[in-house]
Amino acid sequence: MTDTTDLIDQRTAPPKTLVLLFILLALVILAGVAYSINSIKDINDETVEPYLAIINNNLGVSPKLLKIVSHIQDYQTDANNKSLARMKKGYRIMRASILNDIDSEKTKALHENFGDLEKVSKIIEKIKGFDKSFEAIIEDRHDENLAKIKSIRKKFERLYSRWNTYSRKVIQNVQQAQADTWAGWNYQLKIQLYFLLTVAASSIIAIALMYALYMNQMRTGRKLKRRTRELNEARIQAEESTRAKSRFLANMSHEIRTPLNGIIGLSKLAYARIQDREVKGYLENVVLSGSTLLQIINDVLDFSKIEANKATLDVSDFDLADILDPVKTSMHFAAKAKGIPFIVRTPPFAAIALRGDSVKITQVITNLCSNAIKFTERGGVVLTISIDRNYDQALLNIQVTDTGIGLTEEQQRLIFQEFVQADDSTTRKFGGTGLGLSISRSFVELMEGEISVASKQGEGTLFDVKIPLTMAVDPHREERETDQEQLISNSNHLSVKVLGPQNFEVEEIAKDLESLGISVNQEPFTHVLFSSSEYIPDFKKRMEHLVNSFGVPCILCLSNDLISSVKDLAGPVTIIEAPYSSDSVLNSFNQAQEAETDEEDDLPSHALVNKSILVAEDNTINQLVVKETLTTLGAKVSIANNGLECIEKLRNDTYDLILMDIQMPEMDGIAATKRIIADALAPNTPIVALTANVFKEDVESYIEVGMSAHLPKPFDPEALCDLVQQLTA
Amino acid sequence: MMMKKVLAILMLLPTFAFAESWLGKPKGEVILEIIGDLSHQNADGEAHFDRSMIESLPQATIVTANHVLSEPATYQGPVLEDLLLKLGAKGDTILVTALDDYTAELRRTDLKKYKVLLATHENGRMMTIDDRGPFFIVFPFDQNKELRKDLYYNMSVWQVKSIEIE
Label each residue of A24-83 as H, E or C. Answer: HHHHHHHHHHHHHHHHHHHHHHCCCHHHHHHHHHHHHHHHHHHHHHHHHHHHHHCCCHHH
Q: Which residue has the higher pLDDT, A579 or A35?
A: A579
Q: Which residue has the higher pLDDT, A231 or A593?
A: A231
CB contact A594 to B (< 8 Å): no
SS3 A394: strand
Q: Which residue has the higher pLDDT, A37 or A650?
A: A650
Length reported for chain B: 166
Mutate to test the interface with B, among A89, A105, A130 (most CBs of B within 10 A): A105
Largest CA distance in chain B: 69
Least confident range from A478-492, A701-715, B23-37: namely: A478-492
Residue A82 has pLDDT above 70, yes or no: yes
pLDDT tens profile A188-215: 888 888 888 888 888 888 888 888 888 8
Beta-carbon contacts of residue A20 (< 8 Å; ≥ 6 apart): none
| Chain A environment of B72 (Cβ under 8 Å) | none
pLDDT tens profile A266-304: 988 888 888 888 898 888 889 888 888 887 787 777 777
| Per-residue confidence band for A592, with pLDDT thresholds at 50, 70 and 90 | very low
Q: What is the pLDDT of residue A423?
A: 58
Q: What is the pLDDT of residue A593?
A: 35
| Per-residue confidence band for A1, with pLDDT thresholds at 50, 70 and 90 | very low
CB contact A92 to B (< 8 Å): yes
Cα separation, A272 vs A303, in Å, equals 34
| Per-residue confidence band for A429, with pLDDT thresholds at 50, 70 and 90 | low
Residue A538 has pLDDT above 70, yes or no: yes
The proportion of chain B whose per-residue pLDDT surpasses 90, expressed as a percent, equals 71
Residue A597 has pLDDT above 80, yes or no: no
* Region of residue A88 (left: phi > 0; alpha: psi -120 to 50; beta: else): alpha
Residue A723 has pLDDT above 80, yes or no: yes
| Per-residue confidence band for A432, with pLDDT thresholds at 50, 70 and 90 | low
CB contact B69 to A (< 8 Å): yes
The count of other CB atoms within 10 Å of the CB of residue A363 is 22
The answer to whether B77 touches B135, Cβ cutoff 8 Å, is yes
pLDDT tens profile B86-103: 999 999 999 999 999 899
Q: What is the pLDDT of residue A601?
A: 47
| Chain A environment of B64 (Cβ under 8 Å) | none
What is the mean pLDDT of the segment spanning A664-691?
A: 88
Distance from CA of A98 to the nearest CA of B (A): 9
CB contact B6 to A (< 8 Å): no
What is the mean pLDDT of the segment spanning A80-106?
A: 90
Q: What is the pLDDT of residue A44?
A: 55
CB contact A49 to B (< 8 Å): yes
How far is residue A426 from each of residues A334, A417, A418, B150, measured CA to CA in Å? 18, 15, 15, 121
CB contact B129 to A (< 8 Å): yes
Q: What is the pLDDT of residue B122?
A: 96
Q: What is the pLDDT of residue A308?
A: 66
Query: Would you call A100 and B98 a contact, using CB atoms and an 8 Å cutoff?
Result: no
How far is residue A45 from each of residues A31, A157, A301, measured CA to CA in Å? 22, 40, 95
Query: Would you call B131 and A100 a contact, using CB atoms and an 8 Å cutoff?
Result: yes
Q: What is the pLDDT of residue A598?
A: 41
How far is residue B86 from each of residues A561, B55, B58, measured CA to CA in Å? 159, 15, 11
Query: Would you call B70 and A105 a contact, using CB atoms and an 8 Å cutoff?
Result: yes
| Per-residue confidence band for A591, with pLDDT thresholds at 50, 70 and 90 | low
Q: What is the pLDDT of residue A421?
A: 57
CB contact A112 to B (< 8 Å): no
Q: What is the pLDDT of residue B64?
A: 96
Residue B26 has pLDDT above 80, yes or no: yes
Q: What is the pLDDT of residue B16?
A: 47
CB pairs under 8 A between A and B: 43
Distance from CA of B131 to the nearest CA of A (A): 5
Residue A11 has pLDDT above 70, yes or no: no
Query: Would you call A97 and B98 a contact, using CB atoms and an 8 Å cutoff?
Result: yes
How far is residue A584 from each of residues A88, A346, A588, measured CA to CA in Å? 163, 9, 6
Q: What type of residue sits at position A691?
A: T
Cα separation, A313 vs B87, in Å, equals 124
Highest mean pLDDT (candidates A75-89, A290-304, A368-382, B111-125) = B111-125
| Chain B environment of A56 (Cβ under 8 Å) | 150, 154
* Region of residue A250 (left: phi > 0; alpha: psi -120 to 50; beta: else): alpha
Q: What is the pLDDT of residue A101?
A: 86
Q: Please provide the average confidence, as pLDDT, over all residues in chain A.
A: 82
Residue A600 has pLDDT above 80, yes or no: no
Out of A49, A64, A93, whose CB is closest to B150? A49
Distance from CA of A148 to the nearest CA of B (A): 23
Q: What is the dihedral of CA A404, A408, A411, A416, to 10 degrees?
A: 50
Q: What is the pLDDT of residue A35?
A: 80
Cα separation, A555 vs A535, in Å, equals 17
Residue A323 has pLDDT above 50, yes or no: yes
Task: Report, in angstroms and rounded to the nearest whole number, the Rg of chain A calculated over CA atoms.
Answer: 61
The residue of chain A with its CA nearest to that of B100 is: A94
Residue A479 has pLDDT above 70, yes or no: yes
Q: What is the pLDDT of residue A145?
A: 86
pLDDT tens profile A604-626: 566 777 788 999 998 888 888 88
The answer to whether A33 touches A202, Cβ cutoff 8 Å, is no
Out of A49, A56, A94, whose CB is closest to B100? A94
